[in-house]
Amino acid sequence: MYHGAEHKTITCYEKGLDLTVENARKCRRVHDRCGTTFTFFVMTVSILVFSLFEAIPFVHGVIGSYRILKALFKIALLPIVAGLSYELLKFLSKTNFFLFIPLKLPGLGLQMITTREPDDEMLEVAIAAFKKALLMDEDPEEPECRFVCPEKLAVLTSEIKAKLAEKGIDESDAEWIVSYATGYKRSELGKDVTVGGKAIDKANALAEERVTGRPLWYIVGNANFYGYEIKTDERALIPRPETEELVERALRHINGESKVLDLCTGSGAIAIAVKLKTGAEVTASDVSEDALSLARENAETLKADINFIKSDMFENIDGKFDVIISNPPYIKSGDIAGLQTEVKDYEPTLALDGGEDGLDFYRIIAKNAREYLTEKGIVFLEVGADQADSVKDMFDGFFVDVIKDISGVERIIKAVKI
């Protein structure tokens, strides 16, 4: 069938038609210069040439008694046979004079066996391949196509795992990469299915990028946060699963009537989840214009109506809120150089650096929270491991709860204004 698609495409081109599936479909599936016809001519011409050769008296008499010599002479004649067949093919393809038609018919008849009517997808393949060949003819710099053989999903997954493991990168990243490149869920990677060259190329390209140290979620371009696809890139911190727990806790105290402030919003993940889950009035702020532009894109894509404000902490914030949520930068300045490459070299330092002891932003929040909270308003904060006690002590005049995350780390501070 692809043979037929190839003929139709060439005919379409030779007729000067646009190379489209519609035009190619109308062209015939046999072609005067086909290899099948050529094979037929080689057979016919060789019979003629070798018969004439045998008829030469010298050959018949002297050489004829030495079989090996005769065979060698025939081999030497093969270029003549091929050359004559080629010239015949070329000549006949240029004429439709009725006397020559009988010479064409056997080859065309054979092609009815070696070709079938192609479907539209096959025509698309043939057209794409032909266009590529034209490009390569026009421009010697045009690279050749590389054909990747399909392989089993499980094989691809273990190859990518091995590639990442060599650079000390976690196996689960390989699963995400293969899942993203092939469209199969991570839970389906054990399935006995074969994946094509495009998906394999994509998985390998993603793995190549991952071994440079670039975080998986920046490569993939989005991360799932609380059930929402959040676009991720170098403009803001990648939202983490621990922060979903912060949202989970805060949502228990938010409804459609609530006014909520997400301080240090980054990608906008917290604000978007709160808005979409509750319909509350949400304000989100960040000092970084880059982060805000990403947060706005995310809010627009997910249709979350949020009031974004560029602000150095509370500087440009007005009004009072029932709930203030924040996951501020909390890494000690001196610890940043020791973080993993994918964090320290790719995620914004502004999103990480919490000052000398990592607590600068909590001090600002604790100092201002009372003024920006409604009566019985609540502050929800994500804190780093070992920071909970220090942050708790900052909230004088609040009822403070320390909540552990699923790993048992004291991760969330809930401070209720009293």
Ligand X SMILES: C[S@@+](CC[C@H](N)C(=O)[O-])C[C@H]1O[C@@H](n2cnc3c(N)ncnc32)[C@H](O)[C@@H]1O
Binding region for ligand X (CB under 6 A): 236-237, 239, 243, 264-267, 269-270, 286-288, 291, 312-313, 327-329, 350-351
Instruction: Name the helix (H) or strand (E) containing 404.
Output: strand 398-404
Smallest distance, Å, CB 145 to ligand X? 42
| Nearer of residues 182 and 265 to ligand X, judged by Cβ | 265
The whole-angstrom separation of Cα 226 and Cα 315 is: 29
| Nearer of residues 266 and 377 to ligand X, judged by Cβ | 266
Smallest distance, Å, CB 118 to ligand X? 51
User: Which residues have C-beta within 8 Å of that of residue 387, sequence separation ≥ 6?
Assistant: 330, 358, 359, 362
Smallest distance, Å, CB 236 to ligand X? 5
3-state helix, strand, coil in the chain (%, to 5): 55, 15, 30
| Nearer of residues 176 and 226 to ligand X, judged by Cβ | 226
The whole-angstrom separation of Cα 222 and Cα 178 is: 15
| Nearer of residues 209 and 242 to ligand X, judged by Cβ | 242
* 258 touches 322 (CB < 8 A): yes
| Nearer of residues 63 and 364 to ligand X, judged by Cβ | 364
CB atoms within 10 A of CB 281: 18
Smallest distance, Å, CB 168 to ligand X? 25
Residue number with the shortest CB distance to ligand X? Answer: 266
Smallest distance, Å, CB 133 to ligand X? 49
| Nearer of residues 6 and 244 to ligand X, judged by Cβ | 244
Smallest distance, Å, CB 399 to ligand X? 24
Smallest distance, Å, CB 244 to ligand X? 9
Instruction: Name the helix (H) or strand (E) containing 138.
Output: helix 120-138
The whole-angstrom separation of Cα 283 and Cα 261 is: 5
The whole-angstrom separation of Cα 166 and Cα 208 is: 12
DSSP line for 147-177:
PPPPEEHHHHHHHHHHHHHHTT--HHHHHHH
| Nearer of residues 226 and 395 to ligand X, judged by Cβ | 226
Instruction: Tell me the residue length of the chain.
Output: 418
